[in-house]
Amino acid sequence: MKRVLVVCIALLTLLCCSVAFADGAGRTGKRDYEVIAPESYEGYWEEKKEGRLLLAVAPSDEPGWYDVTVALRDKLPKMDVYIMRAHYQEDGSLYYENCMLVIRKVKSDGSVKDKVKYKNGSGLLYYSFDENVLYWTDYTVKPEKNVRTFIKTASPNSDEAL
C-alpha cells in the first residue's frame, strides 16, 4: 500500500511539474530557433556600441558567397580594413577562411596604399533574432575579445545614414 501511495504521489508530482515547465517555457522571451535568409545579410551594418565600424555585405558572383568588408566609418589617414569572402551556412551564419587584414593609408592626394597585416584569417557572422543584431567575430586575433555587434543601417553615402 505504501508503494502504491508513493508511486501515485510521484506520478502526480511529475504531472504537475510538467505542466508548470510547459507554462514557464513560454515566458522566457526566447524565440524558437530562426535562420536568417542569406539576402538579409546584404547591405550596411553599423557597430552598435560606438558606431565607428561599418560592415558591408554584398553578394559575390558565386552563388552562396558574399563579399564582406569591415572598416572604420571615418576617413582617417590610417585604418584597419578587413576584407573577406564568406559562405552562407545551413545554420544561417556566414563563415570565412580567407580574411585579409590590411592597414590602409590614404594619402593627401587620395591615393591608397595597403599593407597586409595577415592573410587567411577565419571567422563568423551570424544574426540574432532575439537581440536584433549581427555578431561578427574574427578568430585570428584574440577571438574571445573580438566579438562585435552591428545593427542594420542605410548606405553611408545616403542622407539616411545615421
- DSSP characters over 129-153: TTTTEEEEEESSS-TTT-EEEEEEE
56 is a domain residue: yes
Question: What pLDDT, in 10s, does the model give residues 108-141?
Answer: 888 889 999 999 999 999 999 888 899 999 888 7
12 is a domain residue: no
15 is a domain residue: no
| Predicted TM-score of the model (pTM) | 0.72
Residue 27 scores a pLDDT above 80: no
Provide the domain limits for residue 100: 40-153
Residue 87 scores a pLDDT above 60: yes
90 is a domain residue: yes
Helix locations, the chain, DSSP H: 2-25
35 is a domain residue: no
> Mean per-residue pLDDT for 80-95?
95
119 is a domain residue: yes
Per-residue pLDDT at 3:
53
Question: What is the total count of domains within the chain?
Answer: 1
29 is a domain residue: no
Question: What pLDDT, in 10s, does the model give residues 36-63?
Answer: 889 999 999 999 988 889 999 999 999 9
126 is a domain residue: yes
